[in-house]
Structure 1
Amino acid sequence: MSKSENLLAVIHLSATAVYVVVGNVVSETDIRIKGVGEIPTEDFQQGQIKHFDRLKSSIRQAIIQAEEMANCRIHSVWLTLSTPELLSSNGFGAVDIEQGVVETQHIVKALSLAKASVLPNTHYLMHHCQQGIFLDNKEQMVDDAIGMYANKVTVMYHLMMMPVSSRQNIQKLIQACDISIDHMLFDAVSSAEYSLMPEEREQGVCLIDIGASSTSVCVYRENKLIFTHCIPEGGNKVTMDISADLNLTMMEAEKLKIQRGTVDTRDVDPTRFETFPRVGMADEATISMLQLAQIIEARYIEIYRIIFQKLADEGLMDYLQRGVILTGGGSQVRGMVRFSKRLLEMPVVMSNPHDAITAYTHFGDDDKVKELNLRVSQRALQTAYGALLYSQSEQFKHSEKSSPEALEINKPNKFSTFKHNLSNFFKSII
């Protein structure tokens, strides 16, 4: 990495490609994309490595692409991914302050206590977000307590965990590419950093990132991450349904979904049939557009059913004043916003580009700048861009004050009782 610029690199492992981005971080509101690498691959599905050597090769190729475009060398990365193996929980650590002044060691100890209360010995803490800090018995939380006077400090966290074996496999994979992992992020949090506006986080919102092999979810309220989840359902399941029901190959089904599919059956004329060319066959298939829409609709109804049953079980439905923000490739099917609003009976919008992400322009190469300008608006890269934004966020800065390497802890516990008032929710945990 260049010594004269603050460059950060991100790898996003998805079910369809490996994405690598290099950003020149000027400030938290000004990140200029200097390099992008993208290599299609299906060797990372639902958080699992399907073929180690092929995936390693894809990562290396994507890194080389980004390095050559950015004219730098990547030695370490922020890694963002989704996995249905995700185990998440809200927890806390309470520490007595003997000298009466909160120090960094107390905040670090609080995280170790929080992990001890919720982290099974089979799991690794991949990502944590500090929610706030209570001093003594005060009702209001603070974001940063270091240097403040108190007899007791209680730090609230949202903890995201994955199986130790899965974490070890990921670590081995990235190290095999001759780079190290600085931080690992759950991709819904990365996407949220890119997609959510401050007022949405404050008032209460659910981000749903529909990928190819999985769908990641997170909920924010009062600017705090309070829930994360990942399910093994995504756009590939839609394609599989079309393939099975219409007797098409997966490639044909994917093409049909993209070119002619919609999830909003109300927009389809029930008498409309279209011919569709078959690969390697003389005869074309005749497809009912209503049947196609019904197949797509049924799978998205199931995805939403699973998500919102989980949200209801966790007592979060009353928290979603701003409704749902959709992102991810699987959300790009036609009619998605209209369908979702009607089904969920709440506000639903698609994520928008983030103003802080722009193209680096000081190359002296117009073609490279033109390509980067196109890449900046590419939806598939939003999660990687979100990781760059997260690296500069107040959330990360506060959370880092708790962050030595994970300790050996094994006492499982889970907090899932939510109340309408978020401060009461945190107090109820304590």
Structure 2
Amino acid sequence: MADDHFIASVDIGSHKIVVLLAEENEGRLEIFGYARGDSAGVRKGVITNVDQAAKAIEKVKKEAVSKCKTKFSSVNINISDPNLVIFNQHPEVVVLTDKVTKENIEYVIEAAHSKVALANQHVLHSVVHNYILDKNPTTLQGVVIKNPIGQKANNLEANIHTVVTSDQCVKDIENSVCQGELGVSNIVPSSMASSEPYLTQEQKEQGVCVVDIGAEVIDLSVFKDGNIFYSTALQVGVEQVNEDISYAFNVDSKEAERLKKKYGQAQVKALTKDKLIKFQQEDDSKERYLSHQSLVKVIEESYLELFSLIRKKLNNEKLYRSLKAGFILTGGGAKIKDCDKLMFSCFKKRAKVGRVNTDLICIKPTLNFLDDDLLTPEYACALGLLLFDPDDIEFKQKQSNNKKRMFGKMRQKIGGRF
């Protein structure tokens, strides 16, 4: 296999690090390499100790190399910054020549950057969704076009979403990766990466919120009118559920995780019958019992608290009513039974756990060392990082007539097999 067919992603989480390797095969990406390990030096999605994070990344990288007998030198990697902001801008420029030029395009993009790039901030991406030629100042109407170069116009306006993050967060990610002898191809917001394996263009047009429930962070992405509109990271996650279980039943974190994984579900009313569950309290050798209903009640209340924070954030941004397509749940926290049903009852909007579009990305049939299902919501971010298209800083939906173009761009931009 040629080295330019190869894409690698690294998902840095608060509790785990995931490495995925993929190649193109007949118009879709096939995952042929995988490794997962414990995270370190990361708190609530943000790197707090570069050396610890670097060692954790390098360990998982070596495992991936060992498993699939493939070396890699550059990766797409995620960023989860609580201070990340998306600015929706409409810069414009007077076209002095007869037709729009490349220089006009560069000017409006630079104008967008200059308005938001403050001290200690880093412009991560600028997503240009469309341009407007000769907008009428009275009617606010004009010719909407994707590629205006060569078009006649007196005035050019751009519809740009600029993603700005902390300069320090970017430096810490780059330093952590570089210590493991890796290069960074692209840094992508976790919330944006987690969205793309699951969304259709129709959902983006209608208005949809992707909720990625991680261990210590909940990433939110809102799409409307077909484009990314808002993104943020809440500094709380499913670890809060474990803490609530620990407090309610006086158990340590390991026992709380076991109870949640084995018996957990999100709605008390979905229990068909109650039963006693054996458990062990912290610093107590005696076997004790709790009712299944009491456990689920604690879990339900904990999830409702998380959902209330999400609702508050969306209401503050005046986005809640625009979500006609509802919510898509991803992340490890979305795996608990009836999570989508609880969200529906809380928000009174459609909610479902995301399912990967396997026409776009799948697992290579010959991958014989797999110990987990990589297409579950837990791997949403790592999967989405594989789909990142750096050519136009957007993600691509699968289209039957543009598969070769889509993956051609990926091959030209991302590589590293040798």
Superposition TM-score tier, normalisation by shorter sequence:
0.7 to 0.9
Structure 2 matches for 1:278-427, cutoff 5 A? Answer: 278=281, 281-355=284-358, 356-360=360-364, 369-371=367-369, 375-391=373-389, 396=394
> Does the 8 Å CA contact 2:195/2:380 hold for their aligned counterparts?
no
Going from structure 1 to structure 2, the CA distance change for 1:299 and 1:133 (only over 3 Å counts) comes to farther
Shift of residue 223 of structure 1? Answer: 1.3
Going from structure 1 to structure 2, the CA distance change for 1:140 and 1:188 (only over 3 Å counts) comes to farther
Identify which of 177, 186, 192 aligns with 1:183. 186
Give the structure 2 partner of residue 112 of structure 1.
110
Going from structure 1 to structure 2, the CA distance change for 1:284 and 1:109 (only over 3 Å counts) comes to farther
Structure 2 matches for 1:178-217, cutoff 5 A? Answer: 178-217=181-220
Give the structure 2 partner of residue 25 of structure 1.
24
> Does the 8 Å CA contact 2:125/2:393 hold for their aligned counterparts?
no
Going from structure 1 to structure 2, the CA distance change for 1:25 and 1:97 (only over 3 Å counts) comes to farther
Structure 2 matches for 1:153-302, cutoff 5 A? Answer: 153-268=156-271, 272-278=275-281, 281-302=284-305
Shift of residue 325 of structure 1? Answer: 0.6
Matched letter for residue 20 of structure 2: V
Query: 1:48 and 2:46 equivalent?
Result: yes
Query: 1:13 and 2:12 equivalent?
Result: yes
Going from structure 1 to structure 2, the CA distance change for 1:380 and 1:150 (only over 3 Å counts) comes to same
> Does the 8 Å CA contact 1:91/1:118 hold for their aligned counterparts?
no
Shift of residue 274 of structure 1? Answer: 2.5
Alpha-carbon distance between aligned partners in 1 of 2:375 and 2:199, rounded to the nearest angstrom: 16
Alpha-carbon distance between aligned partners in 1 of 2:75 and 2:315, rounded to the nearest angstrom: 36
User: Secondary structure, in 3 states, of the residue corresponding to 2:90?
Assistant: strand
User: Secondary structure, in 3 states, of the residue corresponding to 1:195?
Assistant: coil
Shift of residue 270 of structure 1? Answer: 8.9
TM-score normalised over the length of structure 1: 0.83
Matched letter for residue 223 of structure 1: G
Alpha-carbon distance between aligned partners in 1 of 2:123 and 2:44, rounded to the nearest angstrom: 18
Going from structure 1 to structure 2, the CA distance change for 1:100 and 1:73 (only over 3 Å counts) comes to farther
Give the structure 1 partner of residue 152 of structure 2.
149
Q: Is 380-389 or 237-246 further displaced after alignment? A: 380-389
Going from structure 1 to structure 2, the CA distance change for 1:373 and 1:238 (only over 3 Å counts) comes to closer
Give the structure 1 partner of residue 407 of structure 2.
none
User: Secondary structure, in 3 states, of the residue corresponding to 1:15?
Assistant: coil
Shift of residue 279 of structure 1? Answer: 6.8
User: Secondary structure, in 3 states, of the residue corresponding to 2:315?
Assistant: helix
Going from structure 1 to structure 2, the CA distance change for 1:219 and 1:141 (only over 3 Å counts) comes to farther
> Does the 8 Å CA contact 2:32/2:363 hold for their aligned counterparts?
yes
> Does the 8 Å CA contact 1:268/1:290 hold for their aligned counterparts?
yes
Going from structure 1 to structure 2, the CA distance change for 1:62 and 1:108 (only over 3 Å counts) comes to farther
Give the structure 2 partner of residue 405 of structure 1.
none
RMSD over aligned Cα, in angstroms?
Answer: 2.6
Shift of residue 63 of structure 1? Answer: 1.7
Alpha-carbon distance between aligned partners in 2 of 1:354 and 1:142, rounded to the nearest angstrom: 29
> Does the 8 Å CA contact 2:82/2:234 hold for their aligned counterparts?
yes
Shift of residue 196 of structure 1? Answer: 0.7
For structure 2, list consecutive stretches of 5 or more residues without a partner in the other structure.
136-140, 397-418
Matched letter for residue 290 of structure 1: Q
User: Secondary structure, in 3 states, of the residue corresponding to 1:369?
Assistant: coil
Shift of residue 151 of structure 1? Answer: 2.1
Alpha-carbon distance between aligned partners in 2 of 1:19 and 1:206, rounded to the nearest angstrom: 24
Cα-to-partner distance string for 1:11-44 (whole Å, 9 max, x where unaligned): 11111211111111357x4111121121122432
Cα-to-partner distance string for 1:23-79 (whole Å, 9 max, x where unaligned): 11357x411112112112243222322443332122112222333444432221111
Cα-to-partner distance string for 1:248-301 (whole Å, 9 max, x where unaligned): 111111111111122212124796542213477421232233332232222222
Going from structure 1 to structure 2, the CA distance change for 1:271 and 1:36 (only over 3 Å counts) comes to closer
Cα-to-partner distance string for 1:331-360 (whole Å, 9 max, x where unaligned): 112221111111110111110122121234
User: Secondary structure, in 3 states, of the residue corresponding to 1:253?
Assistant: helix
Matched letter for residue 14 of structure 2: A
Q: Is 56-65 or 203-212 further displaced after alignment? A: 56-65
> Does the 8 Å CA contact 1:265/1:294 hold for their aligned counterparts?
yes
Going from structure 1 to structure 2, the CA distance change for 1:255 and 1:141 (only over 3 Å counts) comes to farther
Shift of residue 231 of structure 1? Answer: 0.3
Going from structure 1 to structure 2, the CA distance change for 1:373 and 1:354 (only over 3 Å counts) comes to farther
Matched letter for residue 93 of structure 2: V
Shift of residue 210 of structure 1? Answer: 0.6
Going from structure 1 to structure 2, the CA distance change for 1:175 and 1:208 (only over 3 Å counts) comes to same
TM-score normalised over the length of structure 2: 0.85
